[in-house]
């Protein structure tokens, strides 16, 4: 989507560099950027952590992460040796020690001196959210972020836990940083198909004439997972599906589907258009939450032949937890383009399949000239944007069967990234890290974007916190969720479009 150019020297400082995110995502992504020669020749990655782990042990730990999680497979010794030469550590007992920050500043200064000039500085906060304000405050006190153009801070999700806390966090960060320095990451926005939604909509003439309430019946956005909470039980049990997925990932996808065409492909322009969508989402009145939002929690069940326990038995989860592991919403975007077109959003854990997809369901054609016998399988056209497991865009069309008889049925015209480009796609973190290094904030969330997104879910959160859902767990692991999620959409005479996989090995979707 964007012009790739080699960035100037960069010092990347990762706070919390012994954590899962660094191990599974950040370092494999940086290693792939290195393999693709997308990092500058002059770069250093400082790992900051509190564990008593020497440089060599940390490097080995990171290599293990690449070997396990990189899309390119295992490291080779020669490349790894060169890459690992760029890794340095700072072991700190606490992340609120002025002296430690001052010594980091000295190390960065000496590095720049050795390079013969300024570098881009990226501070990646891969720590629990509770440390974000402390670290940012100390970076500021130590004048490590004083150069607004060259120093950036990446803040991971979750960004607050409701509107009030997100606003407070924004206020606090802006005491130390300029908004242009804050990169609030939502890794979904780094996925190729998500970015491709913009190309699909705004680089092709076909779609714009039908992309409105006159032709679109409704939109479905589904992000389903097969996994449970894994090692994140402690965090997840205080968050739930609405906070963990809908407030960020699903609403960001909704923005890309619903936004107006940008005048230019610039960070502010695109983020302005997205904010307009969030502002136009019809608020859900607290006394009508039940009509617009439903929740579920999984019980025991089977996922691909393996028995899995109920949510309440997962490590770190309260045995009487009332946290939702599935949430579904019906939203409306009150503007000229989308008035009265429902957007159904659904996300959940331990569902039948892992899939992230957008379904744009078109209205029926105004008149069927074909005989009823020819069109028994008639379905209105549909556009499906699949984000995972395949990255694909599908148009479901009515076509005529070959032969003398006039018989119509639905067939798919599929654009699949891997078929078209014969290459593996970059991981979202590769795209996003490169963007931070270059100072391109297009795919990152601005303060107002985050706050408007919280405004959408806040009434639901409030009501759900006050009134526990009766009958939890209410869906079995391995199913497509509870009955109330079906009812949410069935009440409107519609149904969820679930992928059907014919070949479990190849995970080939058949629809």
Ligand X SMILES: NC(=O)c1ccc[n+]([C@@H]2O[C@H](COP(=O)([O-])OP(=O)(O)OC[C@H]3O[C@@H](n4cnc5c(N)ncnc54)[C@H](OP(=O)(O)O)[C@@H]3O)[C@@H](O)[C@H]2O)c1
State the minimum distance, in angstroms, from the CB of residue 53 to ligand X. 9
CB 415 within 8 A of CB 384: no
Q: How far apart are CA 121 and CA 126, in angstroms?
A: 15
* Torsion (CA) 477, 480, 482, 488 in degrees, nearest 10: 160
Distance CA 28, CA 428 (A): 11
Residue 505 to residue 452: CA distance in whole angstroms? 41
Q: Which is nearer to ligand X, 24 or 282 (CB)?
A: 24
Give min distance, CB of 384 to ligand X, in A: 26
249 catalytic per annotation: yes
Instruction: Tokens for 6, please give them.
Output: 């080699």
- E strands present in 111-190: 120-125, 151-155, 182-184
Helical H segments across 2-76, by residue range: 20-21, 27-35, 55-69
119 binds ligand X per the rule CB under 6 A:
no
User: With respect to ligand X, which residue has the nearer C-beta, 28 or 478?
Assistant: 28
What are the C-alpha distances in Å from 84 to residues 251, 272, 431? 38, 40, 21
**What is the closest distance, in whole angstroms, from the C-beta atom of residue 23 to ligand X in the complex?**
7
DSSP 3-state assignment of 425? coil
Q: Does 368 bind ligand X (CB under 6 A)?
A: no
Q: How far is the CB of 72 from ligand X (least distance, A)?
A: 19
**Binding of ligand X by 128 (CB under 6 A):** yes
157 binds ligand X (CB under 6 A): yes
Which residue, 53 or 280, is less far from ligand X as judged by CB?
A: 53
Number of residues in contact with ligand X under rule CB under 6 A: 20
Contact between 19 and ligand X by CB under 6 A: the answer reads: yes
Q: Does 16 bind ligand X (CB under 6 A)?
A: yes
Using CB under 6 A as the binding rule, whether residue 156 contacts ligand X is answered as yes
CB 467 within 8 A of CB 256: no
* Smaller CB separation from ligand X, 25 or 350: 25
- The smaller minimum CB distance to ligand X, of residues 124 and 292, is found at 124
Q: Can residue 51 be called a binding residue for ligand X (CB under 6 A)?
A: yes
Six-digit token pair at 476?
A: 């079995």
Smallest gap from residue 278 Cβ to ligand X (A): 21
- Coil, strand or helix: which one is 392? strand
Taking the complex as a whole, the smallest distance from the CB of residue 20 to ligand X amounts, in Å, to: 3
Question: In the range 369-408, which residues lie near ligand X by CB under 6 A?
Answer: none
Beta strands in 157-315 (DSSP E): 182-184, 216-224, 293-296, 298-299, 301-303, 306-308
Q: Is 159 in the site for ligand X (CB under 6 A)?
A: no
In the stretch 278-307, what mask flags binding to ligand X with x, by CB under 6 A? ------------------------------
The whole-angstrom separation of Cα 159 and Cα 165 is 8
CA distance 432 to 189: 8
Cis check for the bond before 473: say yes or no (omega within 30 of 0).
yes
What distance lies between CA 453 and its chain's CA centroid? Answer: 14
Query: Is there a contact between 22 and 62 (Cβ–Cβ < 8 Å)?
Result: yes
184 makes contact with ligand X (CB under 6 A): no
At closest approach, how far in Å is the CB of 139 from ligand X? 15
Residue 51 beta carbon to ligand X: minimum distance, rounded to whole angstroms: 4
Show the tokens assigned to 290. 């039940």
Whichever of 216 and 239 has its CB closer to ligand X, that residue is 239
* CB closer to ligand X out of 19 and 40: 19
Q: Which of 12, 21, 328, 329 binds ligand X (CB under 6 A)?
A: 21
Query: What x/- string results for residues 204 through 243 when contact with ligand X is judged by CB under 6 A?
Result: ----------------------------------------
Q: Which of 148, 249, 307, 401 is catalytic?
A: 249
Q: Residue from 31, 49, 101, 211 that binds ligand X (CB under 6 A)?
A: 49
For ligand X, which residue of 129, 283, 300, 316 counts as binding (CB under 6 A)? 129
Q: Give the residue closest to ligand X by C-beta.
A: 19
Write each residue from 89 to 108 as x if it is in contact with ligand X (CB under 6 A), else as -, in one continuous string. Answer: ------x-------------
Helix (H) / strand (E) containing 132: helix 132-141
Q: How far is the CB of 188 from ligand X (least distance, A)?
A: 10
CA angle 24, 27, 33 (to 5 degrees): 125
Using alpha carbons, select from 44, 54, 48, 50 the residue that is nearest to residue 22: 48
- Mark residue 464 as left, alpha or beta (left: phi above 0; alpha: psi -120 to 50; beta: remaining): alpha
What are the residue numbers of the active site? 249
Residues engaged in binding ligand X (CB under 6 A): 16-21, 24-25, 49-51, 95, 126-129, 131, 156-158
């Amino acid at each position: 989507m964007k012009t790739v150019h080699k960035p100037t020297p960069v010092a990347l400082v990762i706070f919390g560099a012994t954590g899962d995110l660094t191990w599974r995502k950040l370092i494999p992504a940086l290693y792939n950027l290195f393999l693709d020669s997308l990092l500058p020749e002059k770069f250093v990655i400082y790992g900051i952590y509190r564990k008593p782990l020497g440089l060599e042990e940390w490097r080995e730990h990171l290599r293990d992460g690449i070997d396990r999680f990189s899309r390119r497979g295992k490291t080779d010794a020669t490349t790894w040796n060169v890459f690992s030469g760029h890794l340095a550590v700072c072991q700190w007992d606490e992340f609120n020690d002025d002296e430690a920050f001052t010594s980091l500043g000295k190390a960065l200064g000496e590095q720049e001196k050795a390079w013969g000039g300024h570098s881009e500085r990226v501070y990646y906060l891969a720590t629990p959210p509770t440390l974000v304000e402390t670290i940012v405050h100390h970076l500021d006190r130590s004048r490590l972020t004083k150069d607004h153009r060259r120093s950036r801070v990446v803040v991971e999700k979750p960004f607050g836990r409701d509107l009030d806390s997100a606003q407070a966090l924004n206020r606090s960060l802006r005491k130390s940083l300029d908004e242009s320095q804050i990169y609030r990451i939502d890794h979904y926005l780094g996925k190729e198909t998500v970015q491709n939604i913009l190309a699909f909509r705004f680089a092709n003439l076909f779609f714009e004439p039908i992309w409105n309430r006159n032709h679109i019946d409704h939109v479905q956005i589904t992000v389903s997972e097969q996994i449970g909470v894994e090692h994140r039980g402690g965090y997840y049990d205080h968050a739930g599906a609405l906070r963990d997925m809908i407030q960020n990932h699903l609403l960001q996808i909704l923005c890309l589907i619903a936004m107006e065409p940008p005048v230019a492909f610039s960070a502010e322009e695109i983020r302005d258009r997205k904010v307009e969508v969030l502002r136009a989402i019809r608020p859900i009145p607290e006394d009508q939450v039940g009509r617009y939002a439903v929740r579920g929690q999984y019980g025991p069940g089977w996922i691909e032949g393996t028995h899995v326990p109920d949510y309440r038995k997962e490590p770190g989860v309260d045995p009487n937890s009332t946290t939702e592991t599935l949430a579904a919403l019906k939203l409306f975007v009150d503007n000229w383009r989308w008035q009265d077109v429902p957007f159904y959003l659904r996300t959940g854990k331990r569902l039948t399949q892992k899939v992230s997809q957008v379904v744009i369901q078109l209205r029926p054609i105004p008149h069927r000239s074909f005989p009823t016998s020819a069109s028994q399988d008639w379905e209105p056209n549909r556009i499906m944007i699949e984000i995972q497991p395949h990255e694909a865009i599908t148009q479901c069309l009515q076509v005529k069967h070959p032969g003398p008889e006039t018989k119509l049925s639905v067939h798919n015209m599929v654009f699949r990234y891997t078929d078209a480009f014969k290459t593996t796609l970059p991981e979202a973190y590769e795209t996003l890290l490169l963007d931070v290094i270059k100072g391109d904030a297009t795919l990152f969330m601005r303060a107002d974007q985050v706050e408007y997104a919280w405004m959408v879910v806040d009434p639901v959160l409030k009501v759900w916190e006050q009134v526990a859902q009766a009958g939890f767990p209410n869906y079995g692991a391995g199913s497509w969720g509870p009955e109330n999620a079906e009812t949410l959409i069935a009440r409107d005479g519609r149904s969820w479009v679930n992928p059907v996989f014919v070949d479990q090995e190849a995970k080939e979707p058949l629809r």
